Amino acid sequence: MLYVGVSLQFRFHVTGGDFSSAGTASSEIKKVLKKLNVDGVVIKRAVVSLYEAEVNVVAHAFEGDIFVNISSEKISILLKDKGPGIVDISKAMEEGFSTASPQVREMGFGAGMGLPNIKRNSDFMDIQSVVGEGTTLQIEIYINNKNGEQE
Amino acid sequence: MKHDDLKPFHHALKILEDNCIGCVHCMRVCPTDAIRIFSGKAHVDQNRCVDCGECLNACPVDAIVVEQDDFNKIFSFDIRALLVPAILIGQFPEDIVESQILAALHELGFTHIFEVETIVPFLNDVFIDYQNRSNKKPLISSFCPAIVRLIQVRFPSLVGNIAQLKAPLDVAALYVRNLLEKKRGKKGKERSVGVFYVTPCAAKIAAVKSPVSDEEGRINGVINMDFIYNKMLRIISDKKIKPEQSPESVLRSGREILWSVTNGECYYEKGRSLAIDEIHNVINFLERVENGEMDEVDFLELRACDQSCAGGALAPQNRFLTVERLKNRVEKNSNRKNFNTRAFLTKNDISFLLENISVRPISPRSILKLDDDIEKAMVKMESVREMMKLLPNIDCGACGASSCSGLAEDIVKQEGSLDQCIFIQEILVRKNEQFIEHFEKIWGKAKLNRILSVKTNREEL
């Protein structure tokens, strides 16, 4: 039997500063991916990417929405937030660079590893940001990229 | 598919059909959602069960029991060795001295008694070396067999984090068998060697009967702790054995006897480590490990029972008292001449144990997948999501499944049907007005309207 164009969609809302709920989307998506019999390595890459992205929204933005689309080829994640935006994206991609407030760092976040970690774990990543408005982050993880090597 | 994927798990937990009243207690606490009720009895999915014993503790009518080898089996061997975990010693108050405990075990028919924790100092050396060579973070202890199975079925992506080292029981069994087989006697008149183990839990039995990743067990039989405890207590309290006539103690009394209680392993860990006990706590924590949130932790000691082995379903005494008693014994003996716990192993023993201490990689055995094929699984997933809009989300268990989502998954896997839900039956099929009135009173208008708003012409109804 052929299922043409089957995909599953999920949507999550994230509130800035709500650290206790950070991880809700990634936990939910993890549960789904396990049920879909996706390879463990792929699940981990997707979950780590999504978790880091979720924490970014919580730590930096006022609010945001996460849209996840799962097809048999890839997991596509789109995060749109309303927030301060990123002034220098290439700087933000550097390991250890962070603009997180001291309060956020005290909670164990904001080590400046978020975006590099997403880059490392995903097969495609794109950030668009408008300072003073917000950031849009797009991430893709290919279901068949089981060894986690960048393509 | 790897070899051991094909072999079903051996299970030590059995349901006594005559006692089972078909309530939902066991089904609710099961951490792998392995239990379903039908025809008035609980049934266990053998692929899901990890023998943790949660169901046994929850059963109000003692319908769940742990299988037991016939004790008299020990007498079919000439040399009868018993491996004793320190938890057994912890069942007795401190005024019963170690030598009385040993004497009672001899009285029961064992010729050699060996405390499992004796092997701990050696294992610690091996583990430190193993950890230095491993690049896994966090490294997860292979000690608790229920946890190893839990990871196989629910956290398949973490199987690679489990240390590929034998548990103390298996190493102790190797050592004892190797030692005693040298003492079998002259050729032609060889004496047979039987090695037995006293277990505080069902998972250890299951592990002995079908080792997670080893073909041959070196243990001939398992004796349940509650069974032997009663026999020992009778011998000791009948004053058959007075402390002064007891043989010399060879039981350990150092810090290592706390190895199987919570923090027992972490105590020796040099890096950052965490000890987590009770299976639901472990599950919550492993979810976070899977998210990559714990990559800074070096070692995880994970135990299925609250208070670790002291809380084993077959340990008759209160778990907190057991831990206290073991700590008191360590304290009491702290001024005694220290056992040189490494000294009893010869060079030959050490090289023999090192050759045999590794286990093969542990295979994942995921129970969560809805289908092997991702596209089919996606179609089933979509049906589950649709079904969840219809089901009341009360998780009452009256359908025989543990939760509404459990029933929905059963349905898409064709292991259940929607007419099992009494709410759907009464509200949507029978349109029973009295029932609807009651439902609204208890569960509110919003929930009722949500169910009523679903189109009722579905073919499942």
What CATH code is carried by the domain that includes residue B47?
A: 3.30.70.20
Of A23, A37, A70, nearest to B291 by CB-CB distance is A23
What value does the CA radius of gyration of chain B take, rounded to a whole number of Å?
25
Q: Does residue B403 sit in the same domain as residue B290?
A: no
pLDDT (0 to 100) of residue A12? 96
* pLDDT greater than 70 at residue B3: no
Q: Which residues of A touch B297 (CB under 8 A)?
A: none
pLDDT reported for residue B381: 92
pLDDT at B286 over 90: yes
pLDDT category of residue A4 using cuts at 50, 70 and 90 = low
Residue B211 placed within a domain: yes
Number of domains in chain B: 3
Please give the average per-residue pLDDT across B401-422, as a whole number. 94
Q: Does B294 touch chain A (CB under 8 A)?
A: no
Among candidates A6, A41, A43 on the partner chain, residue whose Cβ is nearest the Cβ of B379: A6
Q: Output the pLDDT for position B340.
A: 55
Q: Does residue B401 sit in the same domain as residue B379?
A: yes
Amino acid, single-letter form, for residue B145? P
What confidence tier does B454 reach under pLDDT thresholds 50, 70, 90?
confident
Tell me how close the Cα of A132 comes to any Cα of chain B, in angstroms. Answer: 30
Tokens of B192: 């047979």
Residue B89 confidence (pLDDT) above 80: yes
CA distance B127 to B193: 29
The residues facing A10 across adjacent strands are A68
Question: Strands A74-82 and A63-71, how do they pair?
Answer: antiparallel
Is residue B369 assigned to a domain? no
Res B199 pLDDT > 70: yes
Do B123 and B38 share a structural domain? no
Which three-class secondary structure state does DSSP give residue B448?
A: helix
Q: pLDDT band at B9, cuts 50/70/90?
A: confident
Closest CA to B83 of B113, B107, B61, B62: B113
Which residue do the tokens 């010693």 mark?
B89
| Confidence band for A10, pLDDT divided at 50, 70 and 90 | very high
B135 and B190 share one domain: yes
Chain A segment 44-73 residues within 8 A of B by beta carbon are 44, 47-48, 51, 70-72
Residue B383 has what pLDDT? 92
Beta bridge partners of A67: A11, A78
Q: What is the mean pLDDT of residues B125-132?
A: 92
Closest-CA residue to B162 (of B217, B229, B213): B213
Q: Is the dihedral of CA A14, A15, A17, A19 positive or negative?
A: negative
Mutate to test the interface with A, among B137, B289, B375, B412 (most CBs of A within 10 A): B375
CB atoms within 10 A of CB B265: 27
Q: Which whole number is the average pLDDT over B432-437?
A: 93
Whether B275 is covered by a domain: the verdict is yes
Instruction: Please answer yes or no on whether A35 and B376 come within 8 Å at the CB atom.
Output: no
Using an 8 Å Cβ cutoff, are B16 and B65 in contact?
A: yes
- The pLDDT of residue B4 is 45
**The domain boundary residue, chosen from B356, B390, B408:** B356
Going B402 to B406 to B408 to B409, the CA torsion angle's sign is: negative
Both B62 and B75 in one domain: the answer is: no
User: In the predicted model, is pLDDT for residue B390 greater than 60?
Assistant: yes
Q: Does B413 touch chain A (CB under 8 A)?
A: no
In this structure, the strands spanning B193-199 and B221-224 are parallel
Is A37–B371 a contact, with Cβ atoms under 8 angstroms apart? yes
Residue B231's pLDDT is: 95
String of DSSP letters for B123-187: HHHHHHHHHHH---SSEE----HHHHHHHHHH-GGGGGGB--B--HHHHHHHHHHHHHHTTS-ST
Q: Give the residue-averaged pLDDT of B2-22.
A: 78
Q: Provide the β-strand partners of residue B290.
A: none
Which positions in chain A touch B373 (Cβ < 8 Å)? 37
B-chain residue closest to A108, CA distance: B293
Q: Which two tokens stand for residue A103?
A: 């309060």
Per-residue pLDDT at B144 exceeds 80: yes
The β-bridge relationship of strands B13-15 and B35-38 is: unpaired
Question: Is B292 close to A44, i.e. CB distance below 8 A?
Answer: yes
Whether residue B170 has pLDDT greater than 50: yes
Residue A25 has pLDDT above 50, yes or no: yes
Q: Which domain holds residue B390?
A: 374-452
Q: Is there a single domain that holds both residue B409 and residue B279?
A: no
A120 close contact with B: CB closer than 8 A: no
In-domain check, residue B363: no
Query: Which two tokens mark A112?
Result: 């400046």
Interface of B with A in 373-392 (CB under 8 A): 373-379, 381-382, 385
For residue B1, pLDDT over 60 is answered with no
* pLDDT tens per residue, range A31-76: 999 999 998 889 989 999 999 999 999 989 999 999 999 999 999 9
Nearest-Cα distance to chain A for B162, in Å, is 15
Residues B159 and B51 in one domain: no
The closest of B269, B331, B265 to B303, measured between CA atoms, is B265
More reliable by pLDDT, B424 or A145 = B424
**pLDDT cut 90: percent of chain B above it:** 63
pLDDT at A137 over 90: yes
B183: left (phi over 0), alpha (psi -120 to 50) or beta: alpha
Query: Residue B238 has what pLDDT?
Result: 82
Residue B180 lies in a domain: yes
Enumerate the residues of chain B whose CB falls inside 8 A of the CB of residue A8: 378, 381-382, 385
Residue of B nearest to A23 (CA): B291
| Stretch B18-32: mean pLDDT | 95
CA distances from B377 to A34, B196, B331, B368, B415 (A): 10, 45, 57, 11, 15
B427 φ/ψ angles, rounded to the nearest 5 degrees: -85, -50
Same structural domain, B113 and B209? yes
> Cβ–Cβ of A27/B291 closer than 8 Å?
yes
Q: Once rounded to an integer, what is the mean pLDDT over residues B251-264?
A: 85
CB contacts under 8 A, B 202-221 vs A, are none
ipTM of this complex prediction, to 2 decimal places: 0.83
Smallest Cβ–Cβ distance between A40 and the set B293, B364, B409 belongs to: B364
| Cα separation, B370 vs A36, whole angstroms | 6
Q: Does B342 touch chain A (CB under 8 A)?
A: no
Q: Which of B152, B363, B369, B374 to mutate: most A Cβ within 10 Å?
A: B374
Task: Report the C-alpha gap between A129 and B187 in whole angstroms.
Answer: 83
d(CA B214, CA A99): 51
The share of chain A scoring above pLDDT 70, in percent, equals 90
Residues B82-101: b if buried by 16+ CB within 10 A, e if exposed = bbbbbbbbbbbeeebbbbbb
What per-residue confidence (pLDDT) applies to B21?
A: 95
Looking at the structure, tell me whether residues B437 and B405 fall in a common domain.
yes
pLDDT band at B7, cuts 50/70/90? low
Size of interface A-B (CB pairs under 8 A): 73
User: Of B17, B381, B70, B66, whose CA–CA distance to B201 is shortest?
Assistant: B66
Lowest mean pLDDT among A112-121, B275-284, B374-383: A112-121
**Looking at residue B255, what is its pLDDT?**
85
Nearest to B395 by CA among B28, B8, B6: B28
A24 within 8 A of A12, measured Cβ to Cβ: yes
- Closest C-alpha among B402, B409, B408 to residue B29: B402
Average pLDDT over residues B111-133: 91
Per-residue pLDDT band for B208 (boundaries 50, 70, 90) equals confident
The predicted structure's pLDDT at residue B334: 72
Q: How far apart are CA B421 and CA B176, in angstroms?
A: 55
Which helix (H) or strand (E) element contains residue B41? strand B41-44
How far is it, in rounded angstroms, from Cα B268 to Cα B273? 10
Winning range, highest mean pLDDT, from A110-114, B302-306, B367-371: B302-306
Contact: B291, A51; criterion CB under 8 Å:
yes
**Does the pLDDT value for residue B184 go beyond 90?**
no
Closest partner CB to B157 (pick from A1, A40, A70): A40
Name the residue in chain A with its Cα closest to that of B409: A35
Predicted pLDDT of residue A26: 92
Contact A23 B290 (CB under 8 A): no
- Say whether residue A113 is in contact with chain B using an 8 A CB cutoff: no
Q: Please say whether the beta carbons of B146 and B152 come within 8 A.
A: no
**Do B389 and B334 sit in the same domain of this protein?**
no
* Cβ neighbours of B405 in A, within 8 Å: none
Q: Quick check: B112 pLDDT over 80? A: yes
Query: Of B314, B413, B393, nearest to B47 (Cα)?
Result: B413
> B339: which 2 tokens?
């056992």
B458 part of a folded domain: no
Domain A10-142 is classified in which CATH homologous superfamily? Histidine kinase-like ATPase, C-terminal domain (3.30.565.10)
pLDDT digits (tens, 9 = 90+) for B323-371: 999 999 888 877 665 555 566 788 888 999 999 899 888 888 888 999 9
Token representation of residue B427: 């509200």
CB A109 within 8 Å of CB A59: yes
Q: Are residues B77 and B53 in the same domain?
A: no
Closest Cα in chain B to A50? B291
Determine the distance in angstroms separating the CA of A69 from the nearest CA of chain B, rounded to an integer. Answer: 12
Which of 74-103 (A) contact B at CB < 8 A? none
Of B292, B293, B368, which has the smallest distance from its Cβ to A35's Cβ? B368
- Same domain for B239 and B135: yes
Q: Hey, CA dihedral for B134, B138, B144, B148, is it positive or negative?
A: negative
Q: What is the CA radius of gyration of chain A?
A: 15
- Report the pLDDT value the prediction gives residue A5, as an integer from 0 to 100: 66
Residue A96 has pLDDT above 60, yes or no: yes
